[in-house]
Structure 1
Amino acid sequence: MEHVDLLIIGAGQSGLSTTAVAARTGWSRPLVLEAGSDTAGSWPAYYDSLTLFSPARYSALPGHPFPGDPGRYPARDEVADYLRTVAKGLDSDIRTGARVTAVRPGPGGAFTVQTGNGERYAARAVVAASGAFAHPHTPDLPGRDSYGGRQLHSADYRTPADFEGARVVVVGAGNSAIQIAADMAPLARVTLATRAPIRWMAQRMLGRDIHWWTRYTGLDIAPIRSRLAALPVSVLDDGTHRKALDEGGVERREMFTALTADGVVWADGTREAVDAVIWATGYRHRYPYLAGTPALDDQGRPLHRLGVSTTVPGLGYVGIEFQRSLASNSLRGAARDARHVLTRLRRVARRR
């Protein structure tokens, strides 16, 4: 069994953010275990037109500035390449193709970590940074299993060319739903299905990007998780997407109540045949490797305070939505959360 001080699960944006601040919080050369074959997380698998919602200057990992214009919004492939480059420059041991299957707290506070290929590790501290983007969520509506059209999550959407001439319903009121609907509008007949009206937020205010303002006001940094979780979903836009929806004839309708064999039943009771339903309904965090430990509640959710486990000493999390701030599950916020978590895990390790 190999022994390490700090073991990080996941080499996507959250895992790399944690690795980037490890040395600054007293941890030397962490071991990073990544289930996939890449160090770009879920970014290579996102849809073709995706761009960051925050400018490059606010999206860089500590000590690794984004190349190019700091005011631009990097595209999907740029972000993936950036993460790969960062991974190569980190003082860490990153191992791909190493899916963690079990993490077990042991006597004296040490953890035993096992991978699917039979490797075992002993670690003083573990950070679960495997993210939510591998676990798409879709609501369980009546008729979903009997619907005969095409049905996919936004995680599986790539290009509007696949839906040319089709009647499509995009479910969701967040940034991804709006981007996908705008992307498809020139080629397909698209409707946005939402439970509430779309809330638009200006990308720029008084000449500055909204992310400058969230930092200036402290909203992007302060640990105000309980209040943030109650905020309604808003869509950042500089006017481009709203214009694309209008020009493409994309309407917004109240969320449908059920699916039929060939379409949907709208809230007003009318039925309509549709060719495809795209669920832009987010993701859920899942930690199957912690199943059977005190780390999770009976719904499989982590028991933590600001990313530090409240039930298993030495265990932390990075990349949970609203973990500490508005930016917690993003490139611009994961490193700040990681610094907080690793500092506290270091204190626990010193007491052992």
Structure 2
Amino acid sequence: MTNRVNVVVVGGGQAGLAAGYHLRRQGLDFTILDADPAPGGSWQHMWDSLHLFSPAEHSSLPGRLMPAHAGETYPDAGHVVNYLADYEKHYDLPVQHGTRVDAVRRDGERLLVETDSGTWRAKAIISATGTWSRPFLPAVPGRDSFAGRQLHTVDYRSPADLTGRRVIVVGGGNSGAQIAADLALDGQAEVTWVTQRPPRFLADDIDGRALFDVATARRRALESGRGDTGGVTSLGDIVAVPPVRAARDTGLLVAKPMFARLTADGVRWADGSHTGVDAVIWCTGFRPALVHLAPLNLRSARGHIPTDGTRALGEPRLHLLGYGDWTGPASATLIGVGRPARDAARTIAQLL
């Protein structure tokens, strides 16, 4: 069966819901197709101890404030899941959960959206699938020969899963620091944290509120033709959330330079020495989940789809939302996705 609608939003996480809010305000007919069987986007798959960088009032989608989290300044992932589920219900957004989009193709004046439960023909599409489903694993020598356990950020849940193990956490960003701190503070695993370059901690008083202000200032500078301020990356790579700060200040979070290679039972360091390892956690980032758009043949040599704001340059009926700064400044954050979602909805309304 083929369904017809003006706009299909692919992905029902924070970016998809923000898109739905603004499409509704534009009076457009739309549906949101989401592969997850339940609301909450990628937040329902995060590790147990994860908390936001910002207080609830600075972590809201357009139109509805996130309620405060009782007893905590920074809400945990479960609180975010509840908020997203409530947001979806409050605005009665037409989300079809458990529907995986396999491909998007051109079909004359419309775009054909092929799913595991039927097809849709739409005049415009917003792709908001994020990155969580595409974890990146670096081509480290010996990775395939390592006989121990290998996990990515997406696989980690709690220190209890690694009790008594010798664990190496790889990655100098927020995920690497937070997971290494989680394991180190628990104390039931022998943890080594390795990074490609010395870790750069942001000042302790900087949280998501300040980061959003910095990203906004960068956007305004670029829009007005002034020089690039460097944005968030000019400040550092790691937000010193309370667990990270605690582990760092007690000497439990000290990074070592990246090892030279993996062996069958451990790692070989640059000086030739060897350390036995039971598990490696790769906190090495993600790539945009764009395989469903492959039939449109829009990717550049860098792997991104060139855009003007959120609109794909090679297909003006397609908008990309929430993948990072290349689809809108801070668009991969709860508070930052509202503006590019509004712009995408307005542009689509004008197109239609």
Structure 2 length normalisation: TM-score?
Answer: 0.89
1:219 aligns with 2:217: yes
| Aligned position for 1:268 | 271
1:236 aligns with 2:221: no
**What secondary structure, in the 3-state scheme, does the structure 1 residue paired with 2:122 have?**
strand
| Aligned position for 2:333 | 330
| Aligned position for 2:43 | 43
| Equivalent residues of 2:215, 2:329 under 8 A apart | no
Distance 2:16 2:241 in 1: 31
Aligned amino acid, residue 48 of structure 2: D
**What secondary structure, in the 3-state scheme, does the structure 2 residue paired with 1:340 have?**
helix
Distance 2:291 2:170 in 1: 28
| Equivalent residues of 2:310, 2:327 under 8 A apart | yes
| Aligned position for 1:15 | 16
| Equivalent residues of 2:320, 2:327 under 8 A apart | no
Number of positions where the alignment pairs a residue of Structure 1 with one of Structure 2: 343
Distance 1:183 1:341 in 2: 38
Q: Which segment is superposed worse, 301-310 or 3-12?
A: 301-310
| Equivalent residues of 1:142, 1:258 under 8 A apart | yes
Shift of 1:246: 4.6
Aligned amino acid, residue 337 of structure 1: P
| Equivalent residues of 2:69, 2:79 under 8 A apart | no
**What secondary structure, in the 3-state scheme, does the structure 1 residue paired with 2:199 have?**
coil
Q: Gaps spanning 5+ residues in structure 1: where?
A: none
| Aligned position for 1:175 | 174
Shift of 1:212: 4.0
| Equivalent residues of 1:322, 1:328 under 8 A apart | yes
Distance 2:292 2:214 in 1: 39
Aligned amino acid, residue 168 of structure 1: V
Distance 1:83 1:248 in 2: 37
1:208-238 per-position Cα deviation (integer Å, ceiling 9, x unaligned)? x552464278337548598559757511115
Distance 1:242 1:67, change over 3 A: closer
| Aligned position for 1:59 | 59
Distance 1:69 1:92, change over 3 A: closer
Q: Summarize the alignment of residues 266-345 of structure 1 with structure 2, pairs less than 5 Å apart.
A: 266-297=269-300, 300-323=303-326, 326-345=329-348
Distance 1:300 1:188, change over 3 A: same
Q: Which segment is superposed worse, 243-252 or 144-153?
A: 243-252
1:3-38 per-position Cα deviation (integer Å, ceiling 9, x unaligned)? 1111100111111111122233x2434200011201
1:204 aligns with 2:205: yes
Shift of 1:98: 1.2
Distance 1:220 1:40, change over 3 A: farther
Distance 1:213 1:123 in 2: 36
| Aligned position for 1:129 | 128
Aligned amino acid, residue 175 of structure 1: N
1:80-129 per-position Cα deviation (integer Å, ceiling 9, x unaligned)? 11111111122432111211112112323x11111112x11111110000
**What secondary structure, in the 3-state scheme, does the structure 1 residue paired with 2:213 have?**
helix
Structure 1 length normalisation: TM-score?
Answer: 0.89
Distance 2:308 2:270 in 1: 39
Distance 2:144 2:324 in 1: 29
Aligned amino acid, residue 124 of structure 1: K
Distance 2:253 2:69 in 1: 33
Distance 1:63 1:326 in 2: 19
| Aligned position for 2:151 | 152
Q: Which segment is superposed worse, 192-201 or 87-96?
A: 87-96
| Equivalent residues of 1:287, 1:300 under 8 A apart | no
Shift of 1:57: 1.2
Shift of 1:60: 0.8
Which residue of 258, 262, 278 maps to 1:259?
A: 262
Shift of 1:348: 2.3
1:112-156 per-position Cα deviation (integer Å, ceiling 9, x unaligned)? 111112x11111110000111111111011110110111100110
**What secondary structure, in the 3-state scheme, does the structure 2 residue paired with 1:8 have?**
strand
Q: Which segment is superposed worse, 261-270 or 313-322?
A: 261-270
Distance 1:164 1:224, change over 3 A: farther
Shift of 1:292: 2.5
**What secondary structure, in the 3-state scheme, does the structure 2 residue paired with 1:235 have?**
coil
Distance 1:250 1:336 in 2: 36
| Aligned position for 1:195 | 196
Aligned amino acid, residue 8 of structure 1: V
Distance 2:171 2:264 in 1: 21
| Aligned position for 1:249 | 252
Distance 1:46 1:210 in 2: 18
Distance 1:131 1:210 in 2: 19
Shift of 1:278: 0.5
